């Protein structure tokens, strides 16, 4: 009887291991995808959270009002071929302006820029 129970446990353990390996093989491609991979080519992407996490919004056009995303951006990735100017108020207003070069990215916006973006357009800030 002892031998029989031992074999039953071994079989169950083997089945569990096989299930784990199978699950890993299926989920591996998803797990290896970086969060910024969600940003399409030729778009300027903004993320709600640090580390390119949370909700994402993107555009290849000027945005005078970020709508739901107003004052929420905490990281960004510029996959366009041109610079982007960020403004702290809608309609490209406010005292502060933030330049992003073509291809630029930052996974951790510091104050006063974190959660403070309200509009953006192509080009550098006017100084």
Please report, as ranges, the residues that interact with Ca ion according to CB under 5 A: 48, 72, 74, 115
CA angle 67/73/78 to nearest 5° reads 100
Smaller CB distance to Ca ion: residue 70 or 82? 70
Smaller CB distance to Ca ion: residue 37 or 55? 55
Strand partners for 56: 47
Beta carbon of residue 76, minimum distance to Ca ion (angstroms, whole number)? 11
Closest CA to 47 of 58, 61, 32, 33: 58
Residue nearest to Ca ion (CB): 74
Beta carbon of residue 47, minimum distance to Ca ion (angstroms, whole number)? 8
- Which phi and psi angles does 112 have, rounded to 5°? -90, 10
Beta carbon of residue 22, minimum distance to Ca ion (angstroms, whole number)? 37
- In whole angstroms, what is the distance from residue 60 CA to residue 114 CA? 22
């Amino acid at each position: 009887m002892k031998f029989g129970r031992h074999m039953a446990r071994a079989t169950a353990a083997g089945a569990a291991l096989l299930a784990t390996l199978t699950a890993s093989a299926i989920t591996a491609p998803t797990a290896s995808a970086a969060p910024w991979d969600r940003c399409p080519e030729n778009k300027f992407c903004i993320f709600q959270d640090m580390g390119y996490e949370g909700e994402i919004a993107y555009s290849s056009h000027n945005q005078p009002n970020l709508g739901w995303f107003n004052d929420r951006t905490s990281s960004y990735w510029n996959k366009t071929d041109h610079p982007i100017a960020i403004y702290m108020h809608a309609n490209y207003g406010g005292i502060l302006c933030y330049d992003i070069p073509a291809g630029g990215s930052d996974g951790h916006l510091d104050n006063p820029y974190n959660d403070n973006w309200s509009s953006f357009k192509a080009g550098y800030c006017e100084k």
